[in-house]
Amino acid sequence: MKIKGVIAMITTRYIGIILSALVYMLPNLVNAEEHIVNAAAREFKPAIIYVQPGDTVKFTNMTSHNSVTYLVPEGGTGWGEKGKMAGGTFITPAIDAEGIYGYVCEPHIGFGMVGVVVVGGVSADDKAAMKERAMAELQGPFKRLIGKINKIKPTLK
């Protein structure tokens, strides 16, 4: 009798822990969204998208284009050269770390065919830092695009 009581207690406790873990994880699993960027003639549309951590981006109309990450925030993983795969569509892996990701279409980089994915909340400082990096490592179009990022989280002071 006594042992049964203890087992029942432990079981109840574990169910509680498992349930609260599920409740905590569920919103992330359920809310992961797929955002669509279309490769138009010489530009990505839209060129800037705002997503949440865990979301994916689906590139369409990619037959003569690619999508290679050039700028990745600290702690983040871009999709690297996976976007070089031939085919009509390319879906990125889930993008987990917050920050500004910049990618280019290599065949058309000369036309300024680049795009930006803003993941989660970015601060004015994040934006400035990425702009700096874009200027150091790349040319023109990234600077302009990053400059257009207009969803900035308020700085806590």
Figure out which of the listed residues 49, 95, 104, 113 binds Cu ion, where binding follows CB under 5 A.
113
3-state secondary structure of 65: coil
Figure out which of the listed residues 55, 65, 119, 145 binds Cu ion, where binding follows CB under 5 A.
65
At closest approach, how far in Å is the CB of 65 from Cu ion?
3
Per DSSP (E only), the strands in the chain are 34-39, 44-45, 48-51, 56-60, 68-71, 90-91, 99-104, 114-119
User: Which lies closer to Cu ion via its Cβ, residue 85 or residue 124?
Assistant: 85
Considering only CA atoms, give the Rg of the chain: 21
Region binding Cu ion by CB under 5 A among candidate stretches 44-52, 53-61, 77-85, 99-107: 99-107
Footprint on residues 43-62 left by Cu ion (CB under 5 A): none
SS3 content of the chain, % helix, strand, coil (to 5): 40, 25, 40
> What secondary structure letter does DSSP report for 109?
G
At closest approach, how far in Å is the CB of 109 from Cu ion?
8
Told to check if 105 binds Cu ion by CB under 5 A, we report yes
At closest approach, how far in Å is the CB of 39 from Cu ion?
6
At closest approach, how far in Å is the CB of 68 from Cu ion?
11
100, 73 Cβ separation under 8 angstroms? yes
